[in-house]
Amino acid sequence: MLLPLLLALTASPDPMSVEGVWWTEGRNSQVTIEREGESVTGRITWYVGIEEEQVFDEQNPDEAMRGRELLDMPIIEGFEAGRNQWKRGVIYDPTEGKSYRSAIFRMDEDTLGVKGCVAVVCLTQKWERVAPGEVVTMERAPMLRSETASD
């Protein structure tokens, strides 16, 4: 009787283990999430169109930040460990130039829940784990752009 309970507990992913490379909803970018001290940080490590041109943070309300390239830009920052999620962090949406209060948690082994909130309204996106063969590393992304430009 105890064995089924133990198996169920070991089958569930650790909700705090969010490190890895994730497809954003719509599969238009990859975000690499890493542990940094007592928090986690996520950076854009690939996006649709990276092969053709650099894309900058043009929608940022701070004019001084509009020259930042999206590649390697942090979009997930400032999280605290909660009981079963990373909470009280901020997620930045470069397509809108807006930041949202956020929480991150594991939904299953290959799915991450990323919640963004404005006032009392919250929406949760499902991000999928990037398969090992689909991961584009930071070192490889700029080379893809130059390879395409020379064709």
pLDDT (mean) for 19-34: 96
pLDDT (mean) for 122-143: 82
Fold of 18-150: Lipocalin (2.40.128)
What is the token pair recorded at 132? 């090992």
C-alpha 87, offset from chain centre: 14
Q: What value, to the nearest 5°, has the Cα angle with vertex 73 and ends 37 and 50?
A: 140
- Four-point Cα dihedral 19, 41, 76, 148, nearest 10: -80
Whether the CA torsion 121, 15, 39, 60 is positive or negative: it is negative
Counting every residue, how long is the chain? 151
| 30-48 pLDDT tens trace | 999 999 999 999 999 999 8
Q: Alpha-carbon distance 125 to 25, whole Å?
A: 6
Contact 103, 57 (CB under 8 A): no
pLDDT (mean) for 108-125: 95
Whether 6 has a pLDDT exceeding 50, the answer reads no
Per-residue confidence band for 65, with pLDDT thresholds at 50, 70 and 90? very high
The whole model's pTM is what? 0.81
The answer for residues whose C-beta is within 8 angstroms of residue 118's C-beta and 6 or more apart is 100, 101
